[in-house]
Structure 1
């Protein structure tokens, strides 16, 4: 980490805690700033706030008082999840107080360069693939950071100029960057998402596109060449553009005759990937672009991608029991993600577990994807809607259940040797679970319990 005096004796407000807020507060404190932390939770219910208080940092909890901004702060570092419509942020904007997210803070003091990965789907898997490939080629060089669970403000403290920060970035984080400049950036794809936060799809796209705002021709921007929107936007970037595609040959990485290629050079067979699904072919091609631009050899890429077993809750291979393969794709919180996961399997030997929070959408677009399924097991608020879609798709066995325990029990009854059980809900988890991770963990626990292994 750079020994920066930039924030020494500056009064800075860290708004919102969780992991990123704690990391930002500690880093600013170490840099000599006068830090005030403000979090909506009450102090007695707020272990993070108590920890910072013990470290000598000023902590204000139980709401966001507007008069707090009368303290003369020169900067606000906000939790990415707090919208700019929050009254305290609206007041800060009127007072012309700069607002950043902690990834910007980390960038400002980092000795290590950044690889930034964003997109609607595939960010975490692509980020993890890149890290593992670099590890295979040069152990201990790559450090995971960002939205993947490792706040960049924590990671930069131990990073040196010999490291590289492989950083997953959300649209929320990117709205709060200023100087941030990744040497390599990836946009895996852009679809409609987070409209409740951004207001419109255009604003969401603008937030994602900010990843390249400070890049120059000496930097590389890697884009999904199958999305006309991104190809069009590429004309607005100063970065050098490299594409990946599953439909055509491009200047970069592409799928050709079942092979993953880079600039006319065969890397590996797509069938050799350690994880199934067309979406993982896309993720792998994006990772190939990043690592080839970084100078990694083909053998290291092939070895790493062949051994890649997935990320927890993202088409994660759980095991094979009496000849039945089991995958956990709890992260498939929308129809598009589930469609991509299902595409990696033979429907006639697939037992799908789906359902969850009802967001008011229909499942008509899901019908072609679930045709010829061996069975579909449905739970949650959407089970009746999904049942209608499954009937239209003429799925021969449709089973509605009340909970994950029953879902796993029925799946294990139906599945035979050479079949696959896949949890890919196509819905959010909040009707039954606090998050998709808890849903996936219960699925894995029930599989383990019921197969007796």
Structure 2
């Protein structure tokens, strides 16, 4: 029997294991951890005849004709070095799933806006009548949906830089890089290495395919000279002949009027770029301007991305837990005219926050920094805001921020960092934040002597 080893037992590793079993492989899954979620998945797989080892990566992994790595697994761990010496192919979960794909793939990457744009693109194609699957870094493993694809279906993939490593035949019909800024410097030795991982999205494209790029970023515009696919640009600052742009405050698709910018369902300048990218990705397909405009108007965004989930005594509470790098935090701050009480910080990926000083001084009334990056963010940013606190524990930080917010403020969770110092993932962090806010407000409302301040102040 053919043998396959899968390293990493998160959602994508579990889905890849089940797909491999369906293919008739003898499957080994290995994870170096043994937490509750991993043990639960291991028990589920074991009941289906899949062998799982936890707490180590043993030599058994090498008894395979192919090794599939989950996106969170670095490619330089010792067992993969041994696999390379033994000439055992190592591929990503995305590559493994793609080998089963029957339809067309739209692949989307970038440093910011991936989830919002991918969800919007999927919504557009669903509205246009296409059988559509949304998968990848969005939280739905590609391996879980790929067997449902058909020659007429479209799969929209959100892809991280990690997922674009260890590719071989992955070949999207439409591939897009939304934007680039330094990120994941805890994994990559330099921003250029991180950017190079993103560029893999175009590796196997031909002249029959399409590459969608942001014309307003010179690094991406110049990239068009190095790829073989037909190039489609999007821009919010200049007209493009073939792509999506803004003219007289109206979105256009290759000269065709789509929608007035004021009618977009998602706010903020960054979301205008996300919408333009989505519009550009429809050019190779049959999607009418009417359907496109209606979907752009009706789409209200996604959970954990500038999610206005609560309003109380004139304070708007916003969950932006998906903001995991400095640029995404900057875009969040640019989205509000009200004074902002900010909760930021989290797992340290080695990012530099000093570039946020100007926007902090203009938009942030008070900042509470939490988690592993709290002290470092405070050192770079505290002197440009009226009030600043460093509180490692997330719940205590939220409570402090709520005590600082007054009528007319926005209380914004936009960490600018990953979540792994105190949470399983950004979804866990965002939902915990919403629960804690509701709990704090309920406590305050039950105690008539404790009130959220009615006027601004420290």
Q: Same fold (TM over 0.5)?
A: yes
Residue among 26, 34, 42 paired with 1:49: 42
Determine whether 1:186 maps to 2:159. Answer: no
Determine whether 1:147 maps to 2:137. Answer: yes
Unaligned runs of 5+ in 2: 446-458
Separation in structure 2 between the aligned mates of residue 85 and residue 30 of structure 1, nearest angstrom? 29
1:21-60 equivalences under 5 Å are 21-42=13-34, 46-60=39-53
Note closer, same or farther for the CA distance 1:38–1:408 as it changes in structure 2 (3 Å cut): closer
TM-score (norm 2): 0.87
Residue among 300, 312, 318 paired with 1:321: 312
Match of 1:5 in 2: none
Deviation at 1:294, TM superposition (A): 2.2
Residue among 236, 244, 247 paired with 2:237: 247
Separation in structure 1 between the aligned mates of residue 50 and residue 57 of structure 2, nearest angstrom? 17
Greater shift in the superposed pair: 277-286 or 49-58: 49-58
1:277-296 equivalences under 5 Å are 277-296=268-287
User: Helix, strand or coil for the counterpart of 2:145?
Assistant: helix
Task: Figure out how many residues of one structure are paired with residues of the other and give that number.
Answer: 439
Match of 2:66 in 1: 75
User: Helix, strand or coil for the counterpart of 2:324?
Assistant: coil
1:405-420 equivalences under 5 Å are 407=398, 410-411=401-402, 414-417=405-408, 419-420=409-410
User: Helix, strand or coil for the counterpart of 1:371?
Assistant: helix
- Contact between 1:373 and 1:396, CA under 8 Å: does it hold in 2? no
Separation in structure 1 between the aligned mates of residue 26 and residue 171 of structure 2, nearest angstrom? 27
1:72-111 equivalences under 5 Å are 73-111=64-102
TM-score (norm 1): 0.88
Separation in structure 2 between the aligned mates of residue 267 and residue 443 of structure 1, nearest angstrom? 37
Separation in structure 2 between the aligned mates of residue 337 and residue 146 of structure 1, nearest angstrom? 20
User: Helix, strand or coil for the counterpart of 2:168?
Assistant: coil
- Contact between 1:276 and 1:345, CA under 8 Å: does it hold in 2? no
User: Helix, strand or coil for the counterpart of 1:312?
Assistant: coil
- Contact between 1:310 and 1:317, CA under 8 Å: does it hold in 2? no
Deviation at 1:239, TM superposition (A): 0.5
1:185-334 equivalences under 5 Å are 185-250=175-240, 251-334=242-325
Separation in structure 1 between the aligned mates of residue 277 and residue 29 of structure 2, nearest angstrom? 38
Deviation at 1:189, TM superposition (A): 1.4
- Contact between 1:351 and 1:377, CA under 8 Å: does it hold in 2? yes
Note closer, same or farther for the CA distance 1:413–1:200 as it changes in structure 2 (3 Å cut): closer
Q: Deviations over 1:9-31 (max 9, x none)?
A: 42222222211122112112111
Deviation at 1:364, TM superposition (A): 3.3
Separation in structure 1 between the aligned mates of residue 90 and residue 10 of structure 2, nearest angstrom? 18
Match of 1:370 in 2: 360
Greater shift in the superposed pair: 381-390 or 298-307: 381-390
- Contact between 1:377 and 1:411, CA under 8 Å: does it hold in 2? no
Deviation at 1:392, TM superposition (A): 4.3
Match of 2:434 in 1: 444
Greater shift in the superposed pair: 276-285 or 405-414: 405-414
Greater shift in the superposed pair: 261-270 or 279-288: 261-270
Unaligned runs of 5+ in 1: 1-8
Separation in structure 2 between the aligned mates of residue 344 and residue 43 of structure 1, nearest angstrom? 38
Note closer, same or farther for the CA distance 1:23–1:317 as it changes in structure 2 (3 Å cut): same
Match of 1:3 in 2: none
